[in-house]
Amino acid sequence: MIRGDLTLRALAGETEEMRELQRVLEEAPTYAQRITGLPPGKADAQSTYSALPEGKSYDDKFVFGIFRGTEMVGCADLIRGYPRPATAMLGLLLVSERHQHQGIGRLAYAFLEQFVQGWGVCDRIRVGVVRTNKQVIPFWTQLGFAATGELRPYRYASVTSEIVVFEKPLPDAPFPPGASTASSRASLS
Ligand SMILES: CC(C)(COP(=O)(O)OP(=O)(O)OC[C@H]1O[C@@H](n2cnc3c(N)ncnc32)[C@H](O)[C@@H]1OP(=O)(O)O)[C@@H](O)C(=O)NCCC(=O)NCCS
C-alpha cells in the first residue's frame, strides 16, 4: 500500500508535463483498447488536457498528474459543475498499468474528493464507466459510488457500447444540490 509519497499536481500544459502525461496514458493500453478498440493514440495527452464538455470553460477543468515521488504514475481529469452546478464530473482516473493494484487509485481518489470538497460548491462526484471497461466497477462501488440508473450511448471507432453513470454523494455536503458555482481554488500539493 502506498503511503506518504503520493501527490496530485494540477498540470499547466507545459511540454515536459505533456510528455509525461502521454507516457502514462501509453502505459495503460488495456484501458485504451477497452474503450476505443485501439492502442493508445499519439495525441491522447493533448485530447485529455483539452477536452471540455459542452458549455464549460477551462476555469472549471482540472487535469492532474498523480506522482509517486517525482515520477508521474497516473492522471485525473475533473470538471467542476457538470452536468449540474453541484456535481463534479471525474472524466478520468488512470494509473499506469505498472503501478496498478498498489492502492494508488484509491488514494488518488481520496485526494480528488478532498479537492472537490474544498470548492464548497459540489455535493456529489459523478463517474461514467463505459460498459466495455466494466471490470473497474468494483473499484468505484468500493469507494462509495452507486449506479444512478442513467445509461448513455457510447460510440468510438469500432466500439459501440453504453456509459453507466455512477455518483457518490459527498459526506457532510453543507449545501443543497443546485447551489452557486462561485468558489475558490484549492491545491493538493
Ligand atoms: C481503476 C484504476 C484507476 C484503479 O487504480 P488502482 O491503483 O489499480 O486501484 P487500487 O490499487 O487503489 O485498488 C483499490 C481497490 O479497487 C478494486 N480494484 C481496483 N482495480 C480493479 C479492477 N481492475 N477490477 C476489480 N477491482 C479493482 C480492488 O478491490 C482494490 O482493492 P484491493 O487492492 O484491496 O483488492 C486503475 O485500474 C486504472 O487506471 N484503470 C484504467 C483506467 C480506468 O479504467 N479508469 C476508470 C475509468 S471509469
The pLDDT tens digits of the residues spanning 5-28 come to: 999 999 999 999 999 999 999 999
Phi, psi of 148 (to 5 degrees): -85, -15
Say whether pLDDT at 186 is over 80: no
Mean pLDDT for all residues in the chain: 91
Ligand 1 centroid to 178 CA: how many Å?
31
Pocket perturbation via mutation, ligand 1, pick of 139, 156, 166 by most ligand atoms within 8 A of CB: 139
Q: Closest ligand 1 atom to the C-alpha of 92?
A: 47
**Would you place residue 45 in the very low, low, confident or very high pLDDT band (cuts 50, 70, 90)?**
very high
Q: What is the pLDDT of residues 84-102, one digit of tens each?
A: 999 999 999 999 999 999 9
Taking residues 43-68, report their average pLDDT.
97
More confident site: 25 or 181: 25
Cα separation of the two ends of the chain: 20
What's residue 171's pLDDT? 82
Q: Closest ligand 1 atom to the C-alpha of 135?
A: 24
Neighbour-count burial of 73, counting CB atoms closer than 10 A to its CB (0-12 exposed, 13-18 middle, 19+ buried): buried
Residue 146 forms beta bridges with which residues?
167
Say whether pLDDT at 177 is over 80: no
Ligand 1 centroid to 142 CA: how many Å?
10
What's residue 172's pLDDT? 73
Domains of the chain are 2-169 (3.40.630.30)
Pocket perturbation via mutation, ligand 1, pick of 101, 134, 137, 152 by most ligand atoms within 8 A of CB: 101
Distances (CA, A) of 148 to 52, 54, 85: 23, 21, 17
The pocket around ligand 1, CB under 6 angstroms, is made up of 28, 31, 93-95, 100-106, 127, 129, 133, 135-136, 138-139, 142
Distances (CA, A) of 172 to 52, 75, 92, 151, 175: 29, 27, 24, 27, 9
Measuring from atom 1 of ligand 1, which residue has the nearest CA? 136
- The pTM (predicted TM-score) of the whole model is 0.90
Residue with cell 452546478: 85
Dihedral sign, CA of 81, 68, 136, 92? positive
What's residue 50's pLDDT? 97
Q: What is the pLDDT of residues 130-174, one digit of tens each?
A: 999 999 999 999 999 999 999 999 999 999 999 999 999 998 755
